Amino acid sequence: MRVRGQHIALAQAYDGIMRVVCDLDDADLQRPTRCRGWLVADLLFHVLCDAQRALVALASPADGPADVDDVSYWRAFAGGDSDAGARHAWWVRRSAAAFERPAGIVRLWADTAPAAVRAAGAADPDGHVATQGHVLRVPDFLATLTTEAVVHHLDLVADLPGAPLPGAAATAVAVAAVDGLLSDDAVRPTGWDDAEYLLKATGRLPLTDRDRRDLGEAAGWFPLLG
Protein backbone atom coordinates (compact mmCIF):
# COMPACT_ATOMS: atom_id res chain seq x y z
CA MET A 1 0.00 0.00 0.00
CA ARG A 2 2.92 2.36 0.65
CA VAL A 3 3.78 2.62 -3.03
CA ARG A 4 0.20 3.71 -3.76
CA GLY A 5 0.47 6.49 -1.21
CA GLN A 6 3.81 7.61 -2.64
CA HIS A 7 2.40 7.47 -6.16
CA ILE A 8 -0.49 9.72 -5.14
CA ALA A 9 1.90 12.16 -3.44
CA LEU A 10 4.17 12.28 -6.51
CA ALA A 11 1.19 12.89 -8.77
CA GLN A 12 0.09 15.76 -6.53
CA ALA A 13 3.62 17.20 -6.43
CA TYR A 14 4.06 17.18 -10.19
CA ASP A 15 0.54 18.46 -10.81
CA GLY A 16 1.23 21.25 -8.34
CA ILE A 17 4.20 22.43 -10.37
CA MET A 18 2.09 22.21 -13.52
CA ARG A 19 -0.53 24.45 -11.92
CA VAL A 20 2.16 27.02 -11.14
CA VAL A 21 3.68 27.20 -14.63
CA CYS A 22 0.85 26.30 -17.02
CA ASP A 23 -0.50 29.83 -17.47
CA LEU A 24 2.76 31.78 -17.18
CA ASP A 25 3.86 33.80 -20.17
CA ASP A 26 7.47 34.00 -21.31
CA ALA A 27 8.08 37.07 -19.15
CA ASP A 28 6.86 35.35 -15.98
CA LEU A 29 8.91 32.26 -16.84
CA GLN A 30 11.94 34.54 -16.61
CA ARG A 31 11.20 35.70 -13.07
CA PRO A 32 13.76 34.84 -10.35
CA THR A 33 13.45 31.86 -8.02
CA ARG A 34 14.97 30.95 -4.69
CA CYS A 35 17.70 28.98 -6.50
CA ARG A 36 20.68 31.24 -7.09
CA GLY A 37 21.10 32.15 -10.74
CA TRP A 38 17.99 30.27 -11.91
CA LEU A 39 14.90 31.78 -13.46
CA VAL A 40 11.56 29.95 -13.32
CA ALA A 41 12.26 28.33 -16.70
CA ASP A 42 15.71 27.18 -15.56
CA LEU A 43 14.35 25.60 -12.40
CA LEU A 44 11.51 23.95 -14.30
CA PHE A 45 14.10 22.42 -16.62
CA HIS A 46 15.96 21.06 -13.59
CA VAL A 47 12.78 19.43 -12.26
CA LEU A 48 12.06 18.15 -15.78
CA CYS A 49 15.39 16.32 -15.63
CA ASP A 50 14.15 14.63 -12.43
CA ALA A 51 11.01 13.43 -14.19
CA GLN A 52 13.13 12.09 -17.05
CA ARG A 53 15.42 10.38 -14.51
CA ALA A 54 12.32 8.80 -12.97
CA LEU A 55 11.24 7.38 -16.32
CA VAL A 56 14.66 5.83 -16.92
CA ALA A 57 14.97 4.40 -13.41
CA LEU A 58 11.46 2.95 -13.29
CA ALA A 59 11.98 1.30 -16.69
CA SER A 60 15.28 -0.23 -15.54
CA PRO A 61 14.67 -2.30 -12.39
CA ALA A 62 17.73 -3.00 -10.26
CA ASP A 63 18.69 -5.85 -7.98
CA GLY A 64 18.34 -5.22 -4.25
CA PRO A 65 18.99 -4.73 -1.51
CA ALA A 66 18.66 -0.98 -1.14
CA ASP A 67 21.64 0.92 0.24
CA VAL A 68 19.61 4.03 1.20
CA ASP A 69 16.00 4.86 2.00
CA ASP A 70 13.95 8.01 1.45
CA VAL A 71 15.68 9.76 4.36
CA SER A 72 19.28 8.55 4.25
CA TYR A 73 19.36 9.25 0.50
CA TRP A 74 19.48 12.96 1.34
CA ARG A 75 22.44 12.82 3.70
CA ALA A 76 24.85 13.04 0.76
CA PHE A 77 23.23 16.32 -0.24
CA ALA A 78 23.38 18.05 3.16
CA GLY A 79 26.58 19.96 2.52
CA GLY A 80 27.09 19.32 -1.16
CA ASP A 81 30.01 19.99 -3.45
CA SER A 82 29.79 23.72 -4.18
CA ASP A 83 31.94 23.40 -7.30
CA ALA A 84 29.82 20.57 -8.68
CA GLY A 85 26.69 22.50 -7.79
CA ALA A 86 27.92 25.57 -9.64
CA ARG A 87 28.77 23.48 -12.70
CA HIS A 88 25.32 21.89 -12.66
CA ALA A 89 23.63 25.27 -12.23
CA TRP A 90 25.50 26.63 -15.25
CA TRP A 91 24.68 23.53 -17.33
CA VAL A 92 20.98 23.92 -16.49
CA ARG A 93 20.98 27.59 -17.48
CA ARG A 94 22.64 26.86 -20.82
CA SER A 95 20.34 23.92 -21.50
CA ALA A 96 17.20 25.89 -20.69
CA ALA A 97 18.44 28.76 -22.87
CA ALA A 98 18.64 26.38 -25.86
CA PHE A 99 14.83 26.35 -26.08
CA GLU A 100 13.47 28.84 -28.59
CA ARG A 101 11.08 30.14 -25.94
CA PRO A 102 10.73 29.44 -22.19
CA ALA A 103 7.23 28.10 -22.88
CA GLY A 104 8.84 25.17 -24.68
CA ILE A 105 10.05 23.84 -21.32
CA VAL A 106 6.50 24.01 -19.98
CA ARG A 107 5.23 21.96 -22.92
CA LEU A 108 7.91 19.33 -22.36
CA TRP A 109 7.10 19.23 -18.65
CA ALA A 110 3.41 18.76 -19.47
CA ASP A 111 4.31 15.67 -21.53
CA THR A 112 6.98 14.21 -19.26
CA ALA A 113 5.68 14.65 -15.73
CA PRO A 114 2.41 12.74 -16.27
CA ALA A 115 4.37 9.95 -17.99
CA ALA A 116 6.63 9.67 -14.93
CA VAL A 117 3.58 9.51 -12.67
CA ARG A 118 2.03 6.73 -14.80
CA ALA A 119 5.31 4.80 -14.68
CA ALA A 120 5.36 5.21 -10.91
CA GLY A 121 1.85 3.80 -10.65
CA ALA A 122 2.79 0.78 -12.73
CA ALA A 123 6.04 0.05 -10.87
CA ASP A 124 6.53 -3.09 -8.77
CA PRO A 125 5.99 -1.97 -5.16
CA ASP A 126 8.51 -4.56 -3.99
CA GLY A 127 11.06 -3.66 -6.65
CA HIS A 128 14.23 -1.61 -6.59
CA VAL A 129 15.69 1.08 -8.83
CA ALA A 130 19.18 2.50 -9.26
CA THR A 131 19.68 6.25 -9.44
CA GLN A 132 22.52 8.68 -8.76
CA GLY A 133 24.81 5.94 -7.49
CA HIS A 134 22.30 4.42 -5.06
CA VAL A 135 19.77 1.59 -4.99
CA LEU A 136 16.37 2.36 -3.46
CA ARG A 137 13.11 0.55 -2.97
CA VAL A 138 10.50 1.87 -5.38
CA PRO A 139 8.36 3.58 -2.69
CA ASP A 140 11.43 5.30 -1.27
CA PHE A 141 12.50 6.44 -4.74
CA LEU A 142 9.09 7.98 -5.35
CA ALA A 143 9.32 9.75 -1.99
CA THR A 144 12.66 11.33 -2.93
CA LEU A 145 11.15 12.62 -6.18
CA THR A 146 8.21 14.08 -4.27
CA THR A 147 10.44 15.77 -1.70
CA GLU A 148 12.55 17.41 -4.39
CA ALA A 149 9.46 18.53 -6.32
CA VAL A 150 7.87 20.08 -3.23
CA VAL A 151 11.01 22.00 -2.27
CA HIS A 152 11.45 23.27 -5.83
CA HIS A 153 7.77 24.19 -6.00
CA LEU A 154 8.44 26.53 -3.08
CA ASP A 155 11.48 27.85 -4.95
CA LEU A 156 9.41 28.47 -8.09
CA VAL A 157 6.81 30.69 -6.42
CA ALA A 158 9.23 33.07 -4.69
CA ASP A 159 8.44 35.88 -7.17
CA LEU A 160 5.00 34.68 -8.26
CA PRO A 161 2.47 36.24 -5.87
CA GLY A 162 -0.73 34.23 -5.60
CA ALA A 163 0.73 31.07 -7.08
CA PRO A 164 -0.57 27.86 -5.46
CA LEU A 165 1.56 26.10 -2.87
CA PRO A 166 2.30 22.35 -2.91
CA GLY A 167 -0.57 20.05 -1.95
CA ALA A 168 -0.95 18.54 1.51
CA ALA A 169 -0.12 14.92 0.61
CA ALA A 170 3.05 15.88 -1.26
CA THR A 171 4.13 18.31 1.45
CA ALA A 172 3.67 15.62 4.11
CA VAL A 173 6.18 13.40 2.30
CA ALA A 174 8.78 16.20 2.19
CA VAL A 175 8.19 17.06 5.84
CA ALA A 176 8.62 13.41 6.83
CA ALA A 177 12.00 13.31 5.05
CA VAL A 178 13.19 16.41 6.88
CA ASP A 179 11.86 15.05 10.18
CA GLY A 180 13.98 11.96 9.61
CA LEU A 181 17.08 14.07 8.97
CA LEU A 182 16.44 16.15 12.09
CA SER A 183 16.66 12.99 14.22
CA ASP A 184 14.72 11.86 17.28
CA ASP A 185 16.59 14.20 19.61
CA ALA A 186 15.22 17.44 18.14
CA VAL A 187 11.91 18.82 16.96
CA ARG A 188 11.10 21.78 14.77
CA PRO A 189 10.08 25.02 16.48
CA THR A 190 6.33 25.12 17.04
CA GLY A 191 5.95 28.43 15.22
CA TRP A 192 7.09 27.05 11.86
CA ASP A 193 4.47 26.00 9.35
CA ASP A 194 5.37 23.30 6.84
CA ALA A 195 6.60 25.71 4.16
CA GLU A 196 8.84 27.61 6.59
CA TYR A 197 10.16 24.33 7.96
CA LEU A 198 11.13 23.11 4.50
CA LEU A 199 12.66 26.44 3.48
CA LYS A 200 14.76 26.67 6.63
CA ALA A 201 15.72 23.00 6.59
CA THR A 202 17.06 23.41 3.06
CA GLY A 203 18.84 26.70 3.72
CA ARG A 204 16.45 28.79 1.65
CA LEU A 205 15.63 30.91 4.69
CA PRO A 206 18.15 31.70 7.44
CA LEU A 207 17.58 30.67 11.03
CA THR A 208 16.71 33.54 13.36
CA ASP A 209 18.19 33.95 16.82
CA ARG A 210 14.94 32.61 18.26
CA ASP A 211 15.10 29.60 15.92
CA ARG A 212 18.60 28.84 17.18
CA ARG A 213 17.49 29.07 20.79
CA ASP A 214 14.53 26.79 20.12
CA LEU A 215 16.61 24.26 18.19
CA GLY A 216 19.58 24.28 20.55
CA GLU A 217 22.42 22.06 19.38
CA ALA A 218 20.34 20.93 16.39
CA ALA A 219 20.69 24.41 14.85
CA GLY A 220 24.23 23.44 13.90
CA TRP A 221 22.89 20.66 11.66
CA PHE A 222 21.14 23.12 9.35
CA PRO A 223 20.72 23.04 6.44
CA LEU A 224 19.59 19.44 6.68
CA LEU A 225 19.59 19.02 2.89
CA GLY A 226 20.61 21.21 -0.01
- Identify the structural domains of the chain with CATH numbers, from first to last: 2-171 (1.20.120.450)
d(CA 113, CA 188): 32
Among 77, 40, 16, 93, which Cα is nearest to 203's?
77
pTM of the model: 0.95
**179 CB-contact burial (10 Å; exposed 0-12 / middle 13-18 / buried 19+):** middle
**Nearest-angstrom CA–CA distance, 34 and 42:** 12
Q: Show Cβ contacts of residue 46 under 8 Å, excluding neighbours closer than 6 positions.
A: 35, 38, 92, 152
pLDDT of residue 1: 46
pLDDT digits (tens, 9 = 90+) for 121-146: 999 999 999 999 999 999 999 999 99
Q: Would you tell me how many other CB atoms lie within 10 Å of the CB of residue 220?
A: 8
- Using DSSP's 3-state secondary structure scheme, residue 131 falls into strand
Q: Give 1's contacts (C-beta < 8 A, 6+ positions apart).
A: none
Residue segments in the chain with a per-residue pLDDT below the cut of 50: 1
pLDDT tens profile 140-161: 999 999 999 999 999 999 999 9
Q: What is the pLDDT of residue 4?
A: 76
CA distance to 42, 56, 225, per residue, from 95 (Å): 8, 20, 25
**What was the pLDDT predicted at 68?**
96
